[in-house]
Chain A
């Protein structure tokens, strides 16, 4: 590590004079070698050069775009292949250039070198980005101190400056001057970063009999700073956990909402419900394939296209199931349970024959990758945020449909009293098919959501079936509100238990809780009001 930073300070000097030199061919060649030590040396040489060519090569290296084609080192940029040394396109394009690989420590070396070079860039956005990336990557970085001082002196921007102050404080923690260290610790107490906390904790550690930090005052100040950081971390920690619970709850809701409708309307426990999720997930997979081959420019939006496709695919499968099997078993709920289990086995095996036994790859689109950084230690993954919003949207649509449309009214009528609904002219058989189709379609939507966070494979549905049943049973029959509360409640409770007792025990406790709860309220959280003998 030290060597890198020494080189960096060398870079500084070179940058100032901005010597224009050709790229060292020996260094380029070493980049293509299999020996990681040679690569490290080559990178150092390039950093020392510090010119535009070197920067281009380093950037390509960190983006995995640098490759070997025969004897030449090239940069692969889309369809074009550029010569690394000159940056000129090569004609004819060499066949299958082999990309140059890095290991983690080399990647770190390249990245911090690039970040440090950019700290002095004229472009504000570039400076800001590199300062931010150093914040989490710099480590102790005592050797960077002169560079930081220089950057701080030049820097005028109100947003970048405080970051540089932080960076400088981090770097001066290892300074031999106790006063400087004390000031650094004081500066750092404004931070809310776990990385800074880790650094401060390092000061309090003991090496043999002596503390890492010899000065007692600094230690006391560090302790105070850690407490301050901790109090900031507690809130983001807690809200992070709450979010994980809500996120799990929204997934449970999407998985169970369709089941709540089919079960509510027809008293049918659909054991093949998990496979309807699978149909939805495979629809997403199919759409991704279609977009990749036909609309490669819009591939990031395959998920949007998958939503209606999954809905209709799952709805069709569901209605076919209703027409061929379930219809003949009305009034025999226990037997429906077995027949639908049979259906689920057939669907699983069919998926296996169609798509293979292996899981298939469904990638998060770029806009659903990564996370929203709310605080240093709180980043909410985009895919989960989107799913939470999506489940809210689905819920709203279902609620509108059930309460504001004629179809919804019929469905509610059949749920509450089938013979009476039939008497007043509701076509109960058609309503059944439609309701089953809608319930299945919603399961298909759930499948699209699941494809963004979990496995897509023939068996995927099996993992959700018990959980969705629990939501429906806990929420009460045919009650949307019940399903919502049950799903969110189970999600949050599971996540808090998990943090406390581990995933296995949490799951067992939740199941036991449901069993006990059902004893108390056999009709679930929200029972239909009315008088029943049974």
Chain B
């Protein structure tokens, strides 16, 4: 007998989880907008436009981190090319934003400025329909999804994994970056898309639009977390974790890992695409450097810092790394790279389970103190994972 989806959904999170979701939604949809619009500037609780755009951007990053965690933390596949899916989503939606500029560009043409400049007389075929909001949104999901599916199908079918897979995803993002840098590709070359004017007729700089985008980012993040939670709790999630821990054994039992990996890989790419679509109107620019190799590796570090194999970890990681980046680049610009580099090293050496893992360790130690001095077995297992399980068995400890 199959359980209805709604029941599954509800049971997947439990009452406390739903309470947390409701709280987060309250903050994101009601409190922040109120604090931004109603409180005067200078009030201690006023949320400035700067804060809204900064946090909105980080929320999008958090969604990417969650997507990354789905395949890395739970699927054991480290992608060094997730930036490409994020950017593809961004570009797809960016096309719509470019078309919305209409004739307000500096050449007063129906075509985007960079095309006028390249002497193009009409839109290239892949821009067809880009003036429709829904089509752009569909593209933002479908393009990364399709590319991920094709790439994943061949890669997983050939049983490429581990470091090899990471390296070829890196080749993918590098090739894509070079491709988008070309002016003839038709996406504005190095300058990419900027100077957006409106979405669905609303000005992109209006506070209401900003708040709507912010609210949508909150919603997307919550949605991604709920989806992740439900997936992981399902039978699918269990098989996926089993594949991560020992793919050959799962195969010998009779499962075909291809479908499981392919599904989670494609889903992850689609989530990234959506995050990219929300990111572009908030930061106001999309350019091929989003596909740079370094950016994609940084995504992995968000997840590692927060804690792999937990869902909340990546969100924390994205927040911590990006907020400290904003702070460091203002206060100690020379030392930002030292900090980031040391963070990479120390987290992988001493916090293999990230902040969330460390927190759990600390708590369990506290809890164990009055009873017995021995640490909890699950944590110990997590701290020294067997060599065969590259991604670590973190999930067992934190998401059980």
Contacts and interface: CB of A to CB of B under 8 A. Distances in A.
Q: A and B: real partners?
A: yes
Interface of A: 267, 269, 271, 325, 328-339, 341-346, 348-350, 352-353, 462, 465-466, 469-470, 473, 504-505, 507-508, 511-512, 514-515, 518-520, 522, 533-534
B387 interface: yes
B269 to A, nearest CB: 16
A504 B181 contact: yes
Interface in B337-360: 337-338, 340-345, 347-349, 352
B345 A337 contact: no
B293 A466 contact: yes
Contact of B341 (A267, A342, A508, A519): A342
- Minimum-distance CB pairs A-B, first 9: A342-B344, A331-B387, A345-B341, A346-B341, A511-B175, A349-B337, A339-B348, A342-B345, A342-B341
Interface of B: 72, 78, 80, 151, 154-155, 157-160, 162-164, 166-168, 170-172, 174-175, 178-179, 181-182, 247-248, 293-294, 297, 300-301, 304, 334-335, 337-338, 340-345, 347-349, 352, 385-388, 390-392
Interface of A is mostly: helix
B338 A349 contact: yes
A307 to B, nearest CB: 29
A321 B343 CA distance: 16
Contacts of A346: 337-338, 341-342, 345
Interface of B is mostly: helix
Contact of A328 (B162, B343, B349): B349
Nearest to A517: B168
A517 B80 CA distance: 19
A465 B171 CA distance: 11
A512 B134 CA distance: 32
Contacts of B337: 345-346, 348-349, 352
A345 B298 CA distance: 12
A508 B334 contact: no
Contacts of B158: 518-520, 522
Contact of B387 (A328, A330, A470): A330
B300 A338 contact: yes
A511 B342 contact: no
Nearest to B246: A534
A329 B349 contact: yes
Nearest to B252: A533
29 contacts: A271-B297, A329-B349, A332-B352, A334-B163, A334-B391, A335-B348, A337-B80, A337-B166, A338-B297, A338-B347, A338-B348, A339-B349, A341-B344, A342-B341, A342-B343, A342-B345, A343-B345, A345-B341, A349-B341, A353-B334, A466-B174, A504-B182, A507-B175, A507-B178, A508-B179, A511-B171, A511-B175, A518-B160, A534-B248
A295 B341 CA distance: 38
Given A337-B78, A349-B341, A508-B178, A342 B348 contact: yes
A508 B173 CA distance: 10
A343 B327 CA distance: 22
A403 B80 CA distance: 35
Given A336-B348, A350-B338, A515-B171, 11 more contacts: A329-B348, A338-B344, A339-B345, A345-B338, A349-B337, A349-B341, A466-B170, A469-B171, A515-B151, A519-B155, A519-B160
Nearest to A336: B348
A515 B385 contact: no
Contacts of B335: 349
A515 B168 CA distance: 6
A475 to B, nearest CB: 12
A332 B151 CA distance: 25
Given A328-B349, A337-B163, A466-B293, A518 B342 contact: no
A431 to B, nearest CB: 17
A512 B147 CA distance: 13
A341 B294 CA distance: 9
A520 B155 CA distance: 9
A508 B175 contact: yes
Given A338-B297, A349-B337, A333 B171 contact: no
Nearest to B301: A338
Nearest to A503: B178
A505 B163 CA distance: 26
Given A345-B344, A515-B171, A325 B349 contact: yes
Nearest to A533: B248
Nearest to B157: A519
Nearest to B249: A533
Nearest to A333: B163
B12 to A, nearest CB: 28
A301 B247 CA distance: 55
Nearest to A346: B341
A522 B167 contact: no
B188 to A, nearest CB: 16
A533 B174 CA distance: 31
Q: Which of A333, A344, A512, A518 has the most C-beta atoms of chain B within 10 angstroms of its own C-beta? A: A518
Given A332-B385, A349-B337, A473 B167 contact: yes
A469 B167 contact: yes
Contact of B304 (A338, A343, A504): A338
B172 to A, nearest CB: 6
A203 to B, nearest CB: 37
Given A341-B297, A343-B345, A335 B352 contact: yes
Contacts of A349: 334-335, 337-338, 341
A325 B348 CA distance: 9
Contacts of B154: 519
A334 B171 contact: no
A334 B345 contact: no
A226 B172 CA distance: 46
Contacts of B334: 349, 353
